[in-house]
Amino acid sequence: MTARILLARHAQSKDNLAGILGGRRDSVLTPLGILQAQEAARYLQQKGIRPIMVYSSTALRAQQTSEIITSTLNTSTAMLKRDLQERDMGILTGMTKSEALKVDTGGIIIAGKRSFARMPKNGESFPELRARAKRVLGSIIQTHDTGVILVVTHCVTSLMIFAEFYGLDWEDTLKRFYFGNANLVWLDNSLRPQDAVCFQPS
């Protein structure tokens, strides 16, 4: 048997609501974010999905999300992993999206209505983030060979873990996929990537 990994993006944070590029800075959940995390937890409860292990980013918004889920499901507290942190946005951290457009970011990747800075000064490149995603995913897979493993992380980091698992090009993944707050996404070789999202809050 092999473990099944369920990715969860953290619920809505105050930075999300304000349109701020949070990166690795801490931002607490909004009241809506708390409801989103509770809704995700109820979904898992209703489906009978009880993770044998939960891993979380060290960021406060991810920890709050994981705490709501683990307390609802009555499972062990999440183990924190620094490699699950969001992409380091360098000098863009704390800026609004409109402010970030005025800064040299090494180019922009356009993905529909969204855009991604290629290389913000003092930040993390996408190849670096992809390598980090490969490292943390490999560590989790090697540690567990059965059961469901819940991994609570961030938007861009989850996309890079998703790309690594399904063998997708990272830039194509940014353009084709998007995981909203509190989305749950299966990493499962029996699924097509486009069918991997199993829960989105209402």
Q: Can you read off the two tokens belonging to residue 86?
A: 């969001």
Tell whether the torsion through CA atoms of 132, 28, 196 and 43 is positive or negative: positive
Region 148-165 average pLDDT: 98
Region 56-77 average pLDDT: 97
| Tens digits of residue pLDDT in 36-62 | 999 999 999 999 999 999 999 999 999
The CATH number for 105's domain is 3.40.50.1240
**pTM, entire model:** 0.97
C-alpha 113/C-alpha 110 separation (Å) is 8
pLDDT computed for residue 154 by the predictor: 98
From the list 14, 11, 30, the residue with the least C-alpha distance to 22 is 14
pLDDT band at 1 (very low <50, low <70, confident <90, very high): low
Buried b (16+ CB within 10 A) or exposed e, 87-113: bbbbebbebeeeebeeeebeeeeebee
Q: Can you read off the two tokens belonging to residue 183?
A: 């989305």
In contact, 7 and 179? CB cutoff 8 Å? yes
Total domain count, the chain: 1
Which residues form the domain of 139? 4-199
Q: Can you read off the two tokens belonging to residue 126?
A: 């996408």
Higher local confidence (pLDDT), 123 or 98: 123
From the list 61, 77, 57, the residue with the least C-alpha distance to 69 is 77
C-alpha 191/C-alpha 34 separation (Å) is 29
pLDDT computed for residue 56 by the predictor: 98
pLDDT computed for residue 113 by the predictor: 86
In contact, 157 and 85? CB cutoff 8 Å? yes
